Amino acid sequence: MKRQRRPDDTIAAIATAPGRGGIGVIRVSGHTASDIARGILGRVPAPRHAAFSRFLSSDDSTLDHGIALWFEGPASYTGEDVLELHGHGGTAVLQSVLTRCFELGARPARPGEFTERAFLNDRIDLAQAEAVADLIEASTSSAARSAMRSLDGEFSRHIHTLEETLLNLRMFVEATLDFPEEDVEFLEQAGARNKLADVMQALAALRERARCGVVLREGLTVVLAGAPNVGKSSLLNVLAGEDRAIVTDIAGTTRDTLKELIAIDGVPLHVIDTAGLRETDDPVELAGIARTRRELERAHAVLHLIDSRDGFDDAARAIDAALPSGLKRIRVYNKIDLTGEAASAEVQDGIASIRMSLRTLDGLDLLRQALLDSVAWHGGAEDALAARSRHLHALDISVTHLETAQRCVSGDVLQLDLLAEELRLAHRALGDVTGEFTPDDLLGEIFSRFCIGK
């Protein structure tokens, strides 16, 4: 189950973004938060009521004035006593109020420590805690809605339902171990095979929703590659909806990588324009080409732009051969307005080919769809659950164990010992998602990526 290590000190931090703003918030959490409230406000405010207050220094002079909010534990975000001071958003005034909190016994909060305490105090599980960071970092509205669903506990509820079903199934199997002569009849009466099939079906559906959530969270990194003057910078401008890259007829105009974040059907795409790949003696252009190759190594997919007048010629083949193996490729044959071809899309040997014109934008929708197809996206934004790669890994492990378990009951001879063990391991893998069996070092890694004050 969840860790019972309860923090015994009090932390404080500025909870709003760095820099100047109209309002700044300082958050305090811990068992001495009431003492800090008395020291800085002269009293402990009524719970859950906004109280206009002066924020006092050690000599009772006014550091700031604003709204004070008091939340008694365990009915608070962290499960502890929490004080929030909403004052003016200047850097100096916020720092002076925060320093006063430290003088009164608080210590600086680590990144993500408020949310970590909410997890340790059983206010939220680990999947919900991670959804907090995902909501803050969401780059599209679809990603934000996905994170909100997980923060509300939808992902966790599905996990708990699967765990409960598996637990009941394990109880039947382990009870059967005590009466091996009745194993087949006992499991048939319990509907073990059907229950196992139902769990696997539900798990597959949940994994797909989580996979869509990972796509929404992480996005797709797409590199534009090709020979000079095939339209890479023009394509970046078209996808971005503005002139972000310089477009000229001079080969080698783009000498450095240019990154732009766009969204297609709610899916974030990190599109990277790169230097044209060609033989050159220009040291600056050579440096740009080297960066192109580095970006290709990190990309999820590449848009290989080709001049439709030249087709897939020797130069295009050389570029294709130089691309990292295993990198998903989409070949974009540009300038069909000069060849008289119609816009089209086809897939051959797993490689999509799009014929389009960046001048007339004919075929642009086909390209957008090909990009979504490259991550097997089928319009699941409103059904996606914010998830991370580690969640998918845990679900994959559970699926693997359940597949082995299914083989244990597929024949006439039941392997009950192995079945019980595979069900246990599948159950444990699901617990990794919500944090029931998560190692402390992984918890530290997860919460260290949060912003301070959250």
Successive 10-residue mean pLDDT values, the chain, 454 residues: 66 91 95 96 95 95 96 95 96 96 96 94 92 89 91 94 90 72 60 85 94 88 85 86 46 55 87 64 56 73 92 90 86 94 93 94 94 81 86 95 87 76 93 82 80 86
Please give the angle made by the CA atoms of 252, 257 and 262, to the nearest 5 degrees. 120
Please list, in sequence order, all residues whose beta carbon lies within 8 angstroms of the beta carbon of residue 131, skipping any fewer than 6 positions away: 147, 148, 150, 151, 155, 386
Number of independent structural domains in the chain:
3
298 and 365 co-located in one domain = yes
Question: Domain for residue 442, yes or no?
Answer: no
23 and 71 co-located in one domain = yes
Please give the angle made by the CA atoms of 154, 152 and 133, to the nearest 5 degrees. 110
- Alpha carbon distance 22, 423 (integer Å): 54
Count of other CB atoms within 10 angstroms of residue 232: 30
Question: Domain for residue 245, yes or no?
Answer: yes
- Alpha carbon distance 290, 302 (integer Å): 16
Question: Domain for residue 445, yes or no?
Answer: no
- Alpha carbon distance 254, 284 (integer Å): 10
Query: What's the pLDDT score for residue 1?
Result: 42
DSSP assignments along 168-215, one per residue? HHHHHHHHHTT-GGGHHHHHHHHTHHHHHHHHHHHHHHHHHHHHHHHH
233 and 355 co-located in one domain = yes
174 and 246 co-located in one domain = no
CATH number (domain holding residue 412): 1.20.120.430
21 and 60 co-located in one domain = yes
365 and 228 co-located in one domain = yes
Query: What's the pLDDT score for residue 148?
Result: 93
Q: Which of 349, 373, 397 lies at the terminal end of a domain, its last residue?
A: 373
323 and 228 co-located in one domain = yes
Residue 316's domain comprises 220-373
CATH number (domain holding residue 104): 3.30.1360.120
Query: What's the pLDDT score for residue 254?
Result: 41
Query: What's the pLDDT score for residue 190?
Result: 61
Query: What's the pLDDT score for residue 376?
Result: 82
Residue 288: strand, helix, or coil: helix
User: Is residue 444 within 8 Å of 205, Cβ to Cβ?
Assistant: no
Question: Domain for residue 131, yes or no?
Answer: no
Task: Kindly report the pTM of this predicted structure.
Answer: 0.79
Query: What's the pLDDT score for residue 9?
Result: 93
192 and 284 co-located in one domain = no
Maximal CA-CA distance, the chain: 83
- Alpha carbon distance 428, 425 (integer Å): 5
Question: Domain for residue 331, yes or no?
Answer: yes
CATH number (domain holding residue 316): 3.40.50.300
Query: What's the pLDDT score for residue 188?
Result: 66
238 and 346 co-located in one domain = yes
Question: Domain for residue 446, yes or no?
Answer: no
277 and 350 co-located in one domain = yes
> Both tokens of residue 22?
């109209």
Backbone angles phi, psi at 28, to 5 degrees: -125, 135
239 and 345 co-located in one domain = yes
Please list, in sequence order, all residues whose beta carbon lies within 8 angstroms of the beta carbon of residue 416, skipping any fewer than 6 positions away: 173, 176, 177, 180, 183, 408
Question: Domain for residue 379, yes or no?
Answer: no
Q: Which of 344, 373, 402 lies at the terminal end of a domain, its last residue?
A: 373
- Alpha carbon distance 307, 272 (integer Å): 19
Question: Domain for residue 299, yes or no?
Answer: yes
Query: What's the pLDDT score for residue 244?
Result: 47
Residues 197-228 as b or e (16 or more Cβ within 10 Å = b): eebbeebeebbbbbbbbbbbbbbbbbbbbbbb
209 and 234 co-located in one domain = no
